[in-house]
Each structure stands twice: as structure tokens, then as C-alpha cells.
Chains A and B, each alone.
Chain A
């Protein structure tokens, strides 16, 4: 039955005694750390592979046009519909040019 602090203290005392047997002796050592060569090589290889996969996937997505594609595009751009003449109405040139607003000072009679 756990009913007081004395019981806790007794149990922790047992734990302390058990663990004190495993305490290493006092020593201050500067750990020498070195990179594990195999693991470093594996990580480097994985990184290179990743970069290659990314480059290849990006390049494969880029659209390239052949000479025949370009020729097709040019012919489509040059095509005019046979009924185009119907759109040429009298005075349509007014719509194709921007009228120049005359300089106010150069006008003799004013506005």
C-alpha cells in the first residue's frame, strides 16, 4: 500500500542504489566526431541522383518544335478566309487608323 512519502523515498532509494552501480567513472573527454564515409557517400549519391531526376523531368517537360511544326504555324498565320473581302466596307480605313488631334495653338479660329 502506497500511503506516505516514506514509501516513495524507500522505493527511490532502491532505484538510486541500483542505478549507482551503472554510473560510469568521471571523465571529461572531447568527443572526436568524424563523418562516417560510407554514409556520407550514400547521402552524396542520393543527392546527385535526386538532382539528375529533377533535371531530366524538367527537360522532358520542355516543349520543342520541329521545322515542320514551325512551317505549320506559319501557314496557319498566313491563312485568310475566302470571305475576308466582305469585311472590307467603305470607310473601314477610319477604323484602322488613329486620328491625330490637331494642336489647339496651331488652329486659326480656335475651338
Chain B
């Protein structure tokens, strides 16, 4: 796959990638955009190579997840603001990067429920229900065995159900 083809594929998967990056960054839009940019550069510069062993989307989501984890680890450095970002080249869609996403009451309750899950449970649940992946694909993305992913899925579902019931009874 040459660079143009790769870029085209990335563009097709961009909305889903952004949504997954949002999930990996705790719904922080600014961080999600940064993580996505880092991921695209990593791929286009050849630092992350697609070897065709899985679907491109599965592989891309795994790269986004790893990049988000690295982004979190160095968050303290960015918090010191030693580095200033020059957003000159970044697409400007008329909104600031810090703009918070606005959710309805119903989806806000869902997000609160998602936040109550353990990280791996949240990841599997989001991949299955938000991104329509199978549990097997989710396991590939988060790098665990199928059995482990199934356990996370089952427990995550139970916990989310309980959280949503609590939300409903408020």
C-alpha cells in the first residue's frame, strides 16, 4: 500500500478513528485531535507499519490506543507547557480545540456509566457497541486474549447496566 492509498484509507476511517481517540482520551476533544495527528504521522512516516495480519481498522485502532497511552504518560510534561503548539497547519473547522462536546441528557448518562467501568471493560464495550466490532476484534485492538476480552465484555455489560439503572432511578 503506497502513501496515497494509505492516506485515502485513513481518511475513510477518520470519523471512526476520531470517535475511538475520543474514547481513549476520556472524551477530551483537544487531546483526541492531538493523538489522532500523532497516529497519522506515525503511520505515514512508517514508524507504525500495517502488515495485513488483521483488518486495517483493527490495526489502526490499536495504534491509536497505544498513542493515547503514550500521550497520557507524558501529560505531565505538557502540563508544564514547555512546548507551545503552533496550530497554523492544523485544520480549522471554526471551533477551538478546547471546545467541549455537548451531549444530551441521555447520552451524558451513558457516558457517566461508561466512566464507571474499569479501563479494559470500557474499551471492549465501546469497541463492540460504539464501533460495531466483534469481541475477537476488540481483543486484537486492546492486545488481550479472546477469553479475557469476553470476561471484560460480560462484566462491563453488567456494570454498565447497573450504572444506567442507577441513573434512571435518580
Contact = CB atoms under 8 A, between A and B. Distances in A.
B83 A36 contact: yes
B170 interface: no
A5 to B, nearest CB: 8
A18 B27 CA distance: 12
B37 A28 contact: yes
B144 to A, nearest CB: 21
Contacts of A22: 29, 95, 99, 101
Interface stretch (B12-20, B49-57, B63-71, B135-143): B12-20
Interface in A26-49: 26-36, 39-40, 43
B91 A29 contact: yes
Contacts of B29: 22
B19 A8 contact: no
Which bucket holds chain A's interface residue count?
A: 20 to 34
Given A8-B157, A36-B84, A39-B81, A19 B90 contact: no
Which bucket holds chain B's interface residue count?
A: 35 or more
A20 B22 CA distance: 11
A11 B29 CA distance: 20
Contact of B161 (A2, A28, A34, A35): A2
Secondary structure at chain A's binding surface: helix, strand, loop or mixed?
mixed
B164 A2 contact: yes
Contacts of B5: none
Interface of B: 7, 10-11, 14-15, 18-19, 22, 29, 33-34, 37, 40-41, 44, 80-91, 93, 95, 99, 101-104, 106-107, 110-111, 125-126, 129-130, 157, 160-161, 164-165, 168
16 contacts: A11-B110, A14-B106, A15-B130, A18-B104, A19-B22, A24-B33, A26-B11, A26-B14, A26-B91, A28-B41, A31-B85, A35-B83, A36-B81, A36-B82, A39-B80, A39-B84
Interface of A: 1-3, 5, 8-9, 11-12, 14-16, 18-20, 22-36, 39-40, 43
